[in-house]
Amino acid sequence: MARHLDPIDGPTACHLDPIDGPMACHLDPINGPMARPTQAAAAAIVNFVSDSVMQIFRETGAYLTGHFRLTSGLHSNEYLQCALVLQHPAVAERFGRELGAQLPACDVVASPAVGGLIIGHEVARAMARPGASPRFIFMERDNGKMTLRRGFSVQPGERAVVIEDVVTTGGSTREVIEVLRQAGVQVVAAGSVIDRSGGTVDLGVPRVALATLTVVTHAPEDCPLCRQGIPVVKPGSRPTAAG
């Protein structure tokens, strides 16, 4: 089924089946009817920055509804896989611009690998100004400890912004902030595409997100979807406890 995205120009028609998850999207930004996606399963989403951002998640299959077993073992009727949005470079570029526009000027954008790599790079690109283009660097875990490797370096007094794809507990972002501070860097803000904490995570610096969610979960023994006999699936993968 042909599908094309037009992330720049905003909403386009998209026909989704809320029970069976993402279906082929029929997009025609010029002639199509401006049908709205079914909202039936979206009750937990408290704040998308715009309808068009939410629509991109639906169109790319990054926002799934169904019956999912999360990494925590809890069940949910929603699942959000940010990588599926960022697989589209035009979408990643747009999200980078939208985040970058809300962030203060900096010398360096830093992200925890792997989740923050694409969006952090796009944010740094979007924040580039003549004569003042921030670098993009990333940190990795070395024996479990967030570390600057690969010859990346920062200088005392530099200003940094920390970018992650999804903030759940804020753990990875917090570790990157701590490494930067120990190097004398001033961390001026943090950002993510998704905030799954419902806005509750406090990183000690101003923080922005394109979408803020509260994920409704159920213990398996108390799951209404299980009681309905709906098969449970394990989407995506998140083998580490980071995030």
Name the one range near Zn ion by CB under 5 A: 12-20, 71-79, 147-155, 182-190: 71-79
Pairing, β 135-142 against β 159-167: unpaired
The smaller minimum CB distance to Zn ion, of residues 9 and 221, is found at 221
Contacting residues for 194 by C-beta, under 8 A, at least 6 apart = 80, 82, 165, 166, 167, 209, 210, 211, 212, 213
Token pair, residue 78, equals 């929603």
In terms of Cα–Cα distance, which of 120, 106, 206 is closest to 163?
120
CB 216 within 8 A of CB 78: yes
Return d(Cα 59, Cα 46) in angstroms, integer. Answer: 19
Name the one range near Zn ion by CB under 5 A: 125-133, 169-177, 181-189, 231-239: 231-239
Q: Which of 75, 94, 121, 207 binds Zn ion (CB under 5 A)?
A: 75
**With binding defined as CB under 5 A, does residue 70 bind Zn ion?**
no
Shortest CB 231 distance to Zn ion, Å: 9
Shortest CB 19 distance to Zn ion, Å: 15
Q: Which of 168, 223, 242, 243 binds Zn ion (CB under 5 A)?
A: 223
Q: Residues in contact with Zn ion, total (CB under 5 A)? A: 5
**With binding defined as CB under 5 A, does residue 117 bind Zn ion?**
no
Distances from the Cα of 157 to the Cα of 108, 180, 187, angstroms: 11, 10, 10
Return d(Cα 100, Cα 198) in angstroms, integer. Answer: 21
Return d(Cα 221, Cα 61) in angstroms, integer. Answer: 28
The amino acid sitting at 145 is K
Q: Which residue is nearest to Zn ion (CB)?
A: 223
Name the one range near Zn ion by CB under 5 A: 47-55, 57-65, 125-133, 215-223: 215-223
Token pair, residue 138, equals 């990333």
CB 177 within 8 A of CB 203: yes
Name the one range near Zn ion by CB under 5 A: 41-49, 69-77, 94-102, 159-167: 69-77
Shortest CB 40 distance to Zn ion, Å: 18
Name the one range near Zn ion by CB under 5 A: 128-136, 158-166, 186-194, 229-237: 229-237
**With binding defined as CB under 5 A, does residue 226 bind Zn ion?**
yes
Shortest CB 232 distance to Zn ion, Å: 5
The smaller minimum CB distance to Zn ion, of residues 72 and 153, is found at 72
Q: Which of 225, 235, 236, 238 binds Zn ion (CB under 5 A)?
A: 225
Return d(Cα 42, Cα 32) in angstroms, integer. Answer: 23
- Residues lying near Zn ion in the complex (CB under 5 A) are found at 75, 223, 225-226, 232
